Structure 1
Amino acid sequence: MQHQPQVTDGKLPIFVFPTSLTFFSDDQSSHKQVLTLYNPYDFPLKFKVLSTTPRKYTVVDSEGTIRPRCCVDVVIRHVDICINNEGVKDKFRIQVSEYGQRKILGKKDVMSVLFPKRETSPPKEENFHSLSTSIAGNPELPQTPITTRQTTGRSATGPSYIIIFTAVMCIAALAMPTHGEKDTKWPEYLHLSLSQKLIAAYILGLVTMVILKV
C-alpha cells in the first residue's frame, strides 16, 4: 500500500538540482544547462516548467511525468545571448501536481543569470616569507615511511569508495518502506519517515553529480 504525504496549500517539497543556472556570453558550452527534477515519493508526479521571460529560452520537454522514486533531466537553452541581457535575473518555476490531478502540490523557483564572461584569469601572485624557528641548528625531523601509493589530481579509477557507499546507502534508504505502510515484511524499525527519505533523495542527487564529474 502506498503512503502519500499529507500536503496542504501546495507545500509539497520539490527537489531540483542545481538550484540556480549560470550562463556566460563568451562560453558557448554554457548556453545549454540541465535541470534534474527528483521524485522521492511513492506516487507519480506531473511537472511543468514556467519562465518569467520565455522568449529568451527554449526548454526541451517543459511538461512531463516523473515516475515514483525517479528523476528526469530538463534541458534549458539560452537563445538570446546579448549585452542587453547580461546581469538580468530571470526565474524558472517548477510546479508539480499528482498525476491525473490539476491541483498544484508544490512549486520551486530557480534563478537564472547571464554573465559577460567566465572568469579564467590566474590568481594574484602571493608573497611568502621565511618563518623564524626556536630550534637550534638543523635537527633531523621524524619521518614516516610511505606505505600506500599516493596520487594527485583526479583518480583514474573513478569515484572513491566513500562516494559509492553513500550512493548505495541512499538508494537502500529510498527502497525501504515508509511509516504507515501495511503488508510489508520489513520490521517496523526499518520503516523510514518521509523526511528521512527526502534527505536521502537530496543527498543521492548531489552524489550522482559528483560521480558523473569523475
Structure 2
Amino acid sequence: MSLNIKKIPVFVFPNSLKFYLGSKASHKQLLTLYNPYDFPVRFKVLSTAPNKYAVIDPEGSIGPRTLVDIVIRHTMPTIANCNFTDKFRISMQDHTTKQILGKREIDAILLQGERDDLSSDGDFHSVPFIERPSTSEDQRIFVTNRSLPVTHSTNYVIAIVIGLVCVVTLLLPTQQEVPHPSNIPTYLHVSVNFKLVLAYVLGLVSMVIFKP
C-alpha cells in the first residue's frame, strides 16, 4: 500500500448504539468493523465517556476484505445516565506505520424502558381508514378474495382423447382373427383380454363425457 494515502472511508455497523435501562440483554452490543480493502489495517476504539463503557479488544488488526466484531458493554446503566448521547470514535491506521487513514464516529445512548423489537415500527405510521365503496365498479378494486371459477374443459378433452384411442384399438383385429392374410401388420393385432380391458375403460370414459 502506498504511504501517501491520507484518508479512507471507515465502514462500521450499526451507525448508532442504543442501550435500554430495562433490558439487560441490550447492555452488551456488537459493533462490526469492515475492511473492504486489499491491505490490512489497524483499528482503535475511543469514547467520550470511557467510565461508562467497557470495550473488549479496543485495538487490533483487520485483514484484507474481512471484518471483526467488537463487544461494547454499558457498565453504568442507571437512570441518571439515561438520555445522554455519548460518542465512540473508530480510527483506522496503517498496519505498519500506524498513520491514521480514516475516522468514524457513532452515537451511543442509554434509554429508559425496555427494548421491544417486535412492537417498534420505527418510521412507519398508521394510514387513514377508508370505508369500502358501495358501487360495483369500485368493489372490483377492493374485493380481491373472491374465488375463481373452476373449469373442467381440460378433463373433457382428456376423456375424449382416451375414448378415441380405445375405439381405434378395439377396431383392430384380434390375434385369433387371422383366417386369411390381412393388410394390417401382425404386431397391430390385439389380444382378446386387452380388448376387454379397453371396452371397460371406454365405458368409464363414456360416463364422464356424457355425464349431465
TM-score (normalizing by structure 1): 0.57
Structure 1 distance, partners of 2:44, 2:129, is 54
1:14–1:107 Cα contact (<8 Å) kept = yes
Where in structure 2 are there 5+ consecutive unaligned residues? 150-212
Match of 2:17 in 1: 21
> Higher RCO, 1 or 2 (CA under 8 Å, sep at least 6)?
1
Q: Distance in 2 between matches of 1:131 and 1:100?
A: 69
Question: 2:104 is paired with a residue of what secondary structure?
Answer: strand
Aligned pair count reads: 140
Q: Deviations over 1:32-72 (max 9, x none)?
A: 01000000111100000000000000000000000000000
Give yes or no for the alignment of 1:100 onto 2:96: yes
Contact 1:38 1:70 (C-alpha < 8 Å) held by counterparts: yes
Match of 2:56 in 1: 60
| SS of equivalent residue, structure 2 residue 33 | strand
* Offset of residue 4 of structure 1: 5.7
Q: From 66, 73, 77, give the equivalent of 1:77.
A: 73
Q: Distance in 1 between matches of 2:49 and 2:120?
A: 35
Within the candidate set 29, 32, 39, 1:36 is matched to 32
Q: CA deviation at 1:132?
A: 2.5
Q: CA deviation at 1:102?
A: 2.3
Task: Give the 4+ runs in structure 1 shifted more than 6 A.
Answer: 121-127, 138-142
1:135 is matched with which residue? 136
- Whether the 8 Å contact between 1:48 and 1:63 is mirrored in structure 2 is yes
Asked if the contact 1:23/1:115 (under 8 Å) is kept, the reply is: yes
CA distance in 1, matches of 2:87, 2:120: 32
Displacement, 1:7?
Answer: 2.9
Q: Report whether the alignment pairs 1:118 with 2:114.
A: yes
Q: Deviations over 1:184-205 (max 9, x none)?
A: xxxxxxxxxxxxxxxxxxxxxx
Return closer, same or farther for 1:5/1:117 CA change in 2, 3 Å cut-off. Answer: farther
Judge which range, 122-131 or 79-88, deviates more. Answer: 122-131
Which residue number in structure 1 is paired with residue 207 of structure 2? Answer: none
1:23–1:114 CA contact under 8 A, matched in 2: yes
Structure 1 gap segments, 5+ residues each: 146-214
| Code of the aligned partner of 1:47 | F
Native 8 Å contact 1:25 1:117 kept in 2: yes
Task: Give, in angstroms, the shift of residue 20 of structure 1.
Answer: 0.4
Q: 1:39 to 1:131 in 2, by over 3 A?
A: same
Contact 1:4 1:42 (C-alpha < 8 Å) held by counterparts: no
CA contact 2:82–2:109 (8 Å) conserved in 1: yes
**Residues 129 and 41 (structure 1 numbering): CA distance in 2 closer, same or farther, change over 3 Å?**
closer
The 8 Å contact of residues 23 and 115 in structure 2, kept in 1 or not, is answered as no
Between Structure 1 and Structure 2, whose CA radius of gyration is higher? 2
Q: What letter corresponds to residue 63 of structure 2 in structure 1?
A: R
The alignment's TM-score, normalised by the length of structure 2, stands at 0.57
Match of 1:171 in 2: none
